Structure 1
């Protein structure tokens, strides 16, 4: 590509040109057709309902047979593609640090009973209903780089469809660790930079994610669920008794006929430990603020 205008910015075009070359190198089998399908998918107007519609665009110069052959027999070097995406210029926050967001997006498939590995996806407000529902579909986990400001653009760096046997926390932690290592290898994070901020949605357990990501230059920030109960610090032993003894006595209790002047007060009846005692907390339920 040649730029005729002398005052035009050449760096964005150079970055896009290098990315096109690196992306084409990641297509190891049927790369020509897969590359044209990707261009048609990005340049078509509106949503794509069927892959056959992509063959009608100007970016796809091959027939239906080549398209089906590429989708059935084509191959993409996914680890290399992840490194290519990590090597691109990343959006940054206002303070210059990298911010990665992790979330799950559902692709609902209620009318596709033959689709493999469908899960019940939690949705809310579907079909005009105000209550939550569980609809069969495919959950996809995304990792995107965010930037400050009013823009809603984000840069997707990793995506994976979750299966029935996947541990969401363990799988997500492995992907985040691999992505952070790729960012370091590609020079997007260097020693001396601020730690990468990892933002998790309310569906993740932030303390566990921090434990699984130990050893990486990251900070974990997790949203708290609205029904999460956070316990207060355990009170000092005997504080309730001192507080009860500090209450002023009433006139009725001082003039009670059951007490004789000069006699020792009657002991309070001891409460049975099995009567109305507060149950002990379940082990391991203490919440942690992150």
Structure 2
């Protein structure tokens, strides 16, 4: 069963206390040190700049050695923690629909030669042609989005992508676990509208929709402006001809307006930030799949035809006076009615709220600050950061605006995550604190003075360890 939605400050403290107790029970090793480490991140004044500074906070009652031991030897049960996160209140869109966003954020480790499982992560530069590929750990996040302009979202899960992982398959399995948990918790029942999954252009939208076809999920994401889709073939009125029937009709090239034709639906909406937003929709378009890369299957199995809805969004102006370029969206659900089209492009704009969360995690909560060698320790630290952000989200109704003299006051319902964290020490005093007090002990002897560590740590080369076949000949040629 899911926890009740916190309405007042008292309800929020009750839900927050229950989450803190159940989160403590998810920590199976070094539970006390890990729990107090999350409290130190929550109550620290200012951004987390070094990991060892957290041991100086009053909420962390142990030494700095216990801090590092907790991250290197601690463990949090992932399945139980995921069930706990999805059982909490989930934000919904204006129409009551649950909107999930998926995206990848990187933990860059360019100089960590002794850290395994690093991949080359794409990093955007500030100028044209300045993109780089830097070694690091990419993490796939799933979050529930809110409605309206906000910097909040609810983090539900995070999975690190390994060198042998297929990003689309890992994301589909991650979404499957999250959706199953939401259904088990009672957030979605039979008869409710489908959950909407929003992704960016880096995802294979057709494959995600194909892998999640048995779930009540609609996949929506951005298309590159050079994509070419296809319509259904026109019916033949003449006698049937020998040969294989056609699967694809006339092309629909996003870069060639002469191939579009008249849209089935067109809506115009006045916005306060972008002026007039015009959305045009074309129904029952599908990508042309080929037996390459992820779609290599048995030759006797037909490739699927995945119909969807294509939406072209064009706004009047962008903030800062930049010239707007049209945005193309593809949805796995057909039906080009005006309500559906408006839901798609509004939900896609809300996807950028997840970027605010990534910036908060990196610049304020110190997600990428520790120089950890073991990827398991990095996964545990990521879990603690998600727990920190979840507690901030639950504490919103009980938070007060402790703004600086030069800052503009904000109402309680519009407090940012940083301002909620600024007053969390006062909220923590009223919430449950299940961690036990530390026991007196003596520090270990450590390495003898003057000795030299002669055990060289192994070096690891970043990059993929498996190469996916790009053609049928290569695929079947690898078979023994």
Bin of the TM-score, shorter chain as denominator length: 0.7 to 0.9
The 1:115–1:234 alpha-carbon spacing in structure 2 relative to 1, beyond 3 Å, is same
Q: How many residues align?
A: 239
Q: Structure 1 residue 228: deviation in Å?
A: 1.9
The answer to whether 1:152 aligns with 2:146 is no
2: CA distance between counterparts of 1:171 and 1:45?
Answer: 37
1: CA distance between counterparts of 2:156 and 2:13?
Answer: 20
2: CA distance between counterparts of 1:41 and 1:138?
Answer: 22
Residue 124 of structure 1 contacts residue 130 of structure 1 at CA under 8 Å; is this kept in 2?
no
1: CA distance between counterparts of 2:220 and 2:101?
Answer: 10
2: CA distance between counterparts of 1:73 and 1:109?
Answer: 21
2: CA distance between counterparts of 1:50 and 1:90?
Answer: 32
- Which structure has the greater CA radius of gyration? 1
Cα RMSD for the two superposed structures: 2.4
Q: Structure 1 residue 15: deviation in Å?
A: 0.9
Equivalent in the alignment of 2:61: 61
The 1:222–1:24 alpha-carbon spacing in structure 2 relative to 1, beyond 3 Å, is same
Structure 2: tracts of 5 or more residues without a match: 1-7, 237-287, 293-304, 311-329, 331-480
2: CA distance between counterparts of 1:116 and 1:210?
Answer: 32
**Equivalent residue of 1:72, what SS?**
helix
The answer to whether 1:167 aligns with 2:162 is no
1: CA distance between counterparts of 2:235 and 2:79?
Answer: 54
Residue 22 of structure 1 contacts residue 84 of structure 1 at CA under 8 Å; is this kept in 2?
yes
Q: Structure 1 residue 43: deviation in Å?
A: 2.0
Residue 206 of structure 2 contacts residue 306 of structure 2 at CA under 8 Å; is this kept in 1?
no
Q: Structure 1 residue 232: deviation in Å?
A: 5.8
The 1:130–1:42 alpha-carbon spacing in structure 2 relative to 1, beyond 3 Å, is farther
Residue 231 of structure 1 contacts residue 287 of structure 1 at CA under 8 Å; is this kept in 2?
no
Spell out, residue by residue over 1:177-235, the C-alpha distance to the aligned partner (whole angstroms, 9 max, x if none): 01111111111112221111011221111111111012111111121123323346668
Residue 108 of structure 2 contacts residue 135 of structure 2 at CA under 8 Å; is this kept in 1?
yes
Tell me whether 207-216 or 102-111 shows the greater mean CA deviation: 102-111
Q: Structure 1 residue 92: deviation in Å?
A: 0.6
Structure 1: tracts of 5 or more residues without a match: 1-7, 238-280
Equivalent in the alignment of 1:99: 99
Greater relative contact order (Cα < 8 A, sep 6+): 2
Spell out, residue by residue over 1:99-138, the C-alpha distance to the aligned partner (whole angstroms, 9 max, x if none): 0000111222223222222111112225x66532222222
Residue 205 of structure 1 contacts residue 222 of structure 1 at CA under 8 Å; is this kept in 2?
no
The answer to whether 1:39 aligns with 2:39 is yes
TM superposition score normalised by structure 2 = 0.47
Spell out, residue by residue over 1:24-79, the C-alpha distance to the aligned partner (whole angstroms, 9 max, x if none): 11011111111000111222233323321110111101112322221222111111
